[in-house]
A = this chain, B = another copy of it.
């Protein structure tokens, strides 16, 4: 391993000068610069980050703690985080923690052990682990108490889904809520229901507790059996939407003629399926990007305009909703 000392000797300068050069911090003369640059290349020197971090108590590393990386929403979020931070010279440590709090604590510990710049997570741990001192930004599932957060406008999204579906002529609507751990899903569910209350359209509430296909399949069949007249389904996520499509078509019904479906998220695959899923778009990528930006700004003590960032949502028309009347 080549060290700063060897570079210094070879270049005929002191360690400090080399240090100033590589961390671009302090004066270093033109001549020295050139010599150092040359020998760094020659010796293929790369500074040891552990040593640097030990000394400076900083580390350009941020943790990304996700409930389930195999849920298509989160890889896109991860991509947003990674691409922003990579650009700034930071790295991301990935933790797939499910709902396991012990695991979460392990990861948080490691992050403080390494002087990480911060953590991006879907779960606010500040009450559970108040001793952990680490800049934190919550993404997606942001409650009212969280200081830093990035989330999309779930109230607006839930309302919009209901509104659009009514405009498309839904008369017997099933509103489906997702797993209860996710506050964002509950918020939009409530917003949909609230909107429906202001109309004279008939609706029924249903609950899903899983992202697993077999589970959703069972739930979907229950819904379809219990609510025979259903002509519209508001799904809590695109995954659910796609599974509902499957069950509806399997029963020989037509989409959107017999039953229309609206999803939520606009994951990549939604455009691929048939019929392509009409859905409320929220940008997981942007969410990750904004969260990463916040961490970056905190770490560099920059002025932060907004600690809680609400992202817009919009409707994406595809093939699972009937045409809306103009108005």
A contact residues vs B (CB 8 Å cutoff): 1, 44, 46-51, 53-54, 57, 59, 61, 64, 69-70, 72, 74-76, 78-79, 82-83, 86, 91-96, 103, 106-107, 109-110, 112-115, 131, 213, 239, 242-243, 245-246, 249-250, 268-269, 271-276
Contacts and interface: CB of A to CB of B under 8 A. Distances in A.
A92 B57 CA distance: 21
Contact of A53 (B50, B57, B107): B50
A13 to B, nearest CB: 22
Interface of A is mostly: helix
A79 B98 CA distance: 11
Interface core residue of A74, A76, A243, A269 (most chain B CB under 10 Å):
A269
Nearest to A52: B50
Nearest to A98: B83
Contacts of A249: 274-275
Nearest to A96: B82
Nearest to A44: B131
B272 A274 contact: no
Contact of A49 (B92, B95, B96, B114): B114
B75 A91 contact: no
A116 to B, nearest CB: 10
Contact of A115 (B50, B83, B107, B213): B50
The residue among A61, A92, A273 with the most chain B CB atoms within 10 A of its own CB is: A273
B59 A50 contact: yes
A316 to B, nearest CB: 13
B110 A91 contact: yes
Contact of A94 (B47, B78, B112): B78
A86 B95 contact: yes
Contacts of A245: 273-274
A75 B70 contact: yes
Contacts of A271: 213
With a 10 A CB-CB cut-off, give which of A46, A69, A83, A274 has the most chain B CB atoms.
A274
Given A115-B50, A272-B213, A92 B93 contact: yes
